[in-house]
A and B are shown apart, each in its own frame.
Chain A
Amino acid sequence: MFAATALNRRSYRNQNVARAVFFLMTVALVIPVLIIVGTLVVRGGPALSWEFLFTAPRDNMTAGGILPALVGTIWLVVVALLASVPVGVAAALYLSEYAPDNLLTRTINLAIINLAGVPSIVHALFGVGAFVYFFRFGASILAASLTLAVMTLPVVIVATRESLQAVPQAFREACWNMGATRWQTIRKVVLPNSISGILTGVILEVSRTAGETAPIMFTGATAFVAFLPESVFDQTMAMSYHLYYIATQATDVPEQLTFGVALVLIAIVLAMNAVSIGFRVYLRGLKKW
């Protein structure tokens, strides 16, 4: 009575085919990542040493380490964060907690989505025009970081707004009904319950900022400086630009060195992502609702 009919069997066959296809697609997704990381580790791994991390390049980039690029990337990321996080979080707070649902708000939202879709080379040219020339920052860490900040602003805004909106509306109503103003509600209830999501978004942004090449190429990154940057008005080397340079512009660079730089760059990005994920898991464990 309950035995499978021909129709049942055919359904099962189709279902198994579908599952197999989806599984293969998922595997296909992982393969490039494994190949990239594997290649980098195998071919760049031997280049890694304390000396590699803590000395400057020598002999026309064909030897030595990456210290100025590493330090430069840290400068760029930190200054970009200082610019984009306050602006992005404030904008997200306004959009999520204050803005009425009207034409202006919808236009702003559309603008943010579009800003996220602008190619990075366009941001780079904007940065040249706006920060290097118009504001007369010259090619400098400041100009490059501000360009990065403009580029990553949509990410910060969207991530922040999403974590703000994940806070249950009931919490806000509870506050308002006790006579709290919007700002009191934000400070005492909304922010404490969304800070983990906001921080996660910020860290993800950091990892993106660290890897970008185009926006800093014309605005502040330089192929070689012998000294470490001392202020935001200095030009600097950066990991991503250094990699681009030794891979395509410099001659006679040992292959091992190029892969080594790529390996360090990807390690930085992956480490930041890992920190971000770990952080989120930890904060979720603390969450009381």
Chain B
Amino acid sequence: MDNGQRGDFAIETRGLNLWYGDFQALIDVDLEVKRGIITSMIGPSGCGKTTLLRTCNRIIERLGYVRTTGSVYVLGHDIFGDDVELVQVRKQVGMVFQRPNPLPISVRDNVLFGFRLHEARTRRVSAAEENEVLESSLRQVLLWDTVKDRLDKPATGLSLEEQQKLCIARLLPVKPEVLLMDEPCSALDPAGTEAVEEMIWQLRGDYTILIVTHNMAQARRASDECVFMLLGRIIEHGRTEELFLAPENSKTADYIEGRYG
């Protein structure tokens, strides 16, 4: 219907409510995530950040007792629509988890997993093309130089930082528009966190990134816009520096000053 107008945002939710059984985890959420920038979501544990993130590619539905009302538009299209194919949604909207979850196969097979699933089934793909895709994906996540001699070694043998980068790299060959990241650095040490943040910053522009974090310093350092959530509602959404320097809502101010969390 009004796809053209909605196309301005990568993700847009309208009146989104979500229940886990009787518990309402998201209350009337209206979120607009702009294309090509990094938007971070902060808020205390259990406020619904991860739930909201997981709704954006409908992975949340795996839990049978989840019920939603309202709508979620990704790239202007209602992902709850009748003609929506989940596989297509998930190709467009890649997800990165808290703990790196490489598959127990080689680095090469991990990166090419989605590519082979989607591209290589519709046409013949040469080994040279696979190598190209492999190298460019790994270069985008700043991992090529460290793993180029270990491409056929098991991915589970990499360090956690490398594994997390790999998990992001393997989303890229299917050309997603949006990357959802659920506390991607929480399993990493400070050096790893810094490296992954730097890499995420590199992806900015090419992809729309929505990142959940517990780490306020990280939200502040590494995002353009910031969303503060509390008890299932969005309290405030604005440019990151403004939200941190001059929050409009007193609850936001209390949270970023550490009065609760």
Q: Hey, which bits of chain A sit against chain B, CB under 8 A?
A: 100-102, 168, 170-171, 173-181, 184, 188-189, 193, 287-289
Contacts and interface: CB of A to CB of B under 8 A. Distances in A.
A288 B118 contact: no
Contact of B102 (A101, A174, A193): A174
A189 to B, nearest CB: 6
Interface string B39-82: 00000000000000000010100101000000000000000000
B20 to A, nearest CB: 14
A174 to B, nearest CB: 5
A173 B101 contact: yes
A170 B101 contact: yes
Contact of A178 (B64, B102, B174): B174
Contact of A288 (B64, B90, B101, B156): B156
22 contacts: A170-B101, A171-B101, A171-B104, A173-B101, A174-B103, A175-B103, A176-B62, A177-B59, A177-B90, A177-B171, A178-B91, A178-B94, A178-B113, A178-B170, A178-B171, A179-B114, A180-B87, A180-B113, A188-B113, A188-B117, A288-B105, A289-B104
**What 8 pairs between A and B have smallest CB-CB spacing?**
A178-B114, A170-B101, A288-B104, A179-B91, A179-B90, A289-B104, A177-B95, A179-B87
Contact of B90 (A100, A178, A188): A178
B255 interface: no
A173 B59 contact: yes
B118 A179 contact: yes
Given A176-B59, A288-B156, A289-B156, A170 B94 contact: no
Interface in B171-201: 171, 174
A174 B101 contact: yes
A193 B104 contact: yes
Contacts of B90: 176-179
B88 interface: yes
Q: Which of B102, B117, B167 has the most CB of A within 10 A?
A: B117
Contacts, number: 64
A189 B116 CA distance: 14
A75 B59 CA distance: 47
Nearest to B180: A177
A190 to B, nearest CB: 11
B238 interface: no
B247 to A, nearest CB: 33
Given A101-B64, A184-B117, A177 B102 contact: no
A165 to B, nearest CB: 15
A102 B64 CA distance: 9
Contacts of B114: 178-180
A184 B99 CA distance: 23
Nearest to B121: A184
B97 interface: yes
B103 A171 contact: yes
B36 interface: no
B59 A178 contact: no
A171 B170 CA distance: 13
A177 B57 contact: yes
B7 interface: no
Interface string B237-255: 0000000000000000000
Chain B CB count within 10 A is highest, among A102, A171, A174, A179, for A179
A178 B119 CA distance: 12
Nearest to B105: A288
A122 B101 CA distance: 47
Interface in B204-218: none
Contact of B103 (A102, A179, A184, A189): A189
Contacts of A173: 59, 95, 97, 101
A19 to B, nearest CB: 39
Residue of B87, B90, B103 contacting most chain A CB atoms (<10 Å): B103
Contact of A180 (B94, B117, B167, B171): B117
Given A179-B88, A181-B87, A174 B167 contact: yes
A168 to B, nearest CB: 8
A195 to B, nearest CB: 13
From A101, A170, A171, A193, residue with most partner B Cβ within 10 Å: A170
Contacts of A168: 101
Contacts of A287: 104
Nearest to A184: B117
Contacts of A101: 64
A68 to B, nearest CB: 47
Contacts of A288: 104-105, 154, 156
Contacts of A289: 104, 156
Contacts of A179: 87-88, 90-91, 114, 117-118, 174
A196 to B, nearest CB: 13
